[in-house]
């Protein structure tokens, strides 16, 4: 008697659609990813309910790291020369002369946290080496010798006529006096408006802001 042959079904599945989708996702991620520029000092910012997007052009940022060191960075990707001009002007106000040749290694958005007497040597280093140098931080503690005042004044001068945003980015564990010193330096330059950089967070349920945002949606 002939046995009924069980037909062997192929275990092969057509993977084409699956692979298609996978590559679609892959291309999405490749395009959507914006690589974080490597920061010489990691700063963990606090969370807030603020929803304003951080500007990344025509802004200067004052950063405070966890050791209460202050850094200054200029974000002007549309015109990198402005960043160089600010550094030159700030140094000039402190009696240090810098030329464009000194700043040939400067990159946009770089965090500079050196006192003016050490800035020339620091800027002469190639970028890869600069990232390894532990910077001293801009002196701010004593309001009479606060070098941050020069930095802000220089930024204001170079950007005169243009809109300039002041950003303050502080680490969670940095102490208040340093932030107070930044406020003080801003005040001395007659600047009262600035923005604090934070990470987004939802409004806590049940609060007034939560109700308002719920209504708005």
Burial of 191 (0-12, 13-18, 19+ CB in 10 A): middle
DSSP string, 94-146: TT----TTTTTT--TT--B---HHHHHHHHHS-HHHHTTS-------SSTTT-
Is residue 143 close enough to count as binding another protein by CB under 8 A?
no
Q: Given candidates 7, 11, 52, 160, which one binds another protein under the rule CB under 8 A?
A: 52
For residues 35 and 49, give the distance between their C-alpha atoms in angstroms, rounded to a whole number. 24
Is residue 163 close enough to count as binding another protein by CB under 8 A?
no
46 vs 121 by CB, closer to another protein = 46
25 vs 214 by CB, closer to another protein = 25
φ, ψ at 70 (rounded to 5°): -105, 135
Task: Compute the Cα dihedral for 6, 10, 13, 16 and give only its sign.
Answer: negative
Q: Given candidates 138, 148, 152, 186, which one binds another protein under the rule CB under 8 A?
A: 186
Is residue 121 close enough to count as binding another protein by CB under 8 A?
no
Closest CA relative to residue 169, chosen from 90, 51, 65, 69 = 65
Contact pattern from residue 54 through residue 93 relative to another protein, giving x for each residue in contact according to CB under 8 A and a dash for the rest: xx--------x-----------------------------
- Only one of the segments 97-105, 115-123, 131-139, 168-176 lies at the binding site for another protein (rule: CB under 8 A); that segment is 168-176
Is residue 36 close enough to count as binding another protein by CB under 8 A?
yes
For residues 165 and 195, give the distance between their C-alpha atoms in angstroms, rounded to a whole number. 8
Is residue 1 close enough to count as binding another protein by CB under 8 A?
no
Question: What SS3 state is found at 93?
Answer: helix
Q: Given candidates 39, 40, 45, 94, which one binds another protein under the rule CB under 8 A?
A: 45
For residues 88 and 150, give the distance between their C-alpha atoms in angstroms, rounded to a whole number. 11
Residues of the shown chain interacting with another protein in the complex, contacts defined by CB under 8 A? 15, 19, 22-23, 25-26, 29-30, 32-36, 45-55, 64, 167-168, 170-180, 183, 186-187, 190, 192-200, 203-204, 207-210, 212
């Amino acid at each position: 008697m002939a046995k009924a042959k069980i037909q062997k079904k192929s275990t092969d599945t057509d993977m084409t659609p699956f692979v298609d989708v996978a590559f679609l996702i892959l291309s999405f991620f490749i395009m959507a990813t914006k690589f974080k520029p490597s920061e010489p000092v990691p700063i963990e910012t606090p969370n807030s309910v603020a929803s304003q997007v951080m500007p990344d052009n025509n802004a200067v940022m004052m950063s405070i790291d966890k050791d209460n060191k202050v850094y200054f960075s200029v974000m002007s990707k549309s015109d990198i020369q402005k960043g160089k001009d600010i550094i030159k002007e700030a140094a000039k106000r402190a009696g240090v002369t810098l030329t464009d040749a000194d700043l040939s290694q400067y990159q946009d958005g770089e965090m500079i946290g050196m006192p003016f007497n050490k800035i020339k040597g620091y800027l002469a280093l190639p970028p890869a080496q600069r990232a390894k140098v532990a910077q001293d931080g801009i002196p701010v503690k004593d309001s009479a010798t606060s070098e941050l005042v020069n930095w802000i004044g220089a930024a204001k001068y170079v950007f005169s006529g243009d809109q300039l945003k002041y950003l303050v980015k502080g680490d969670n564990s940095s102490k208040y006096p340093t932030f107070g010193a930044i406020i003080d330096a801003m005040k001395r330059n007659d600047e009262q408006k600035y923005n604090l950089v934070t990470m987004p967070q939802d409004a806590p349920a049940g609060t007034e802001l939560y109700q308002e945002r719920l209504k708005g949606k």
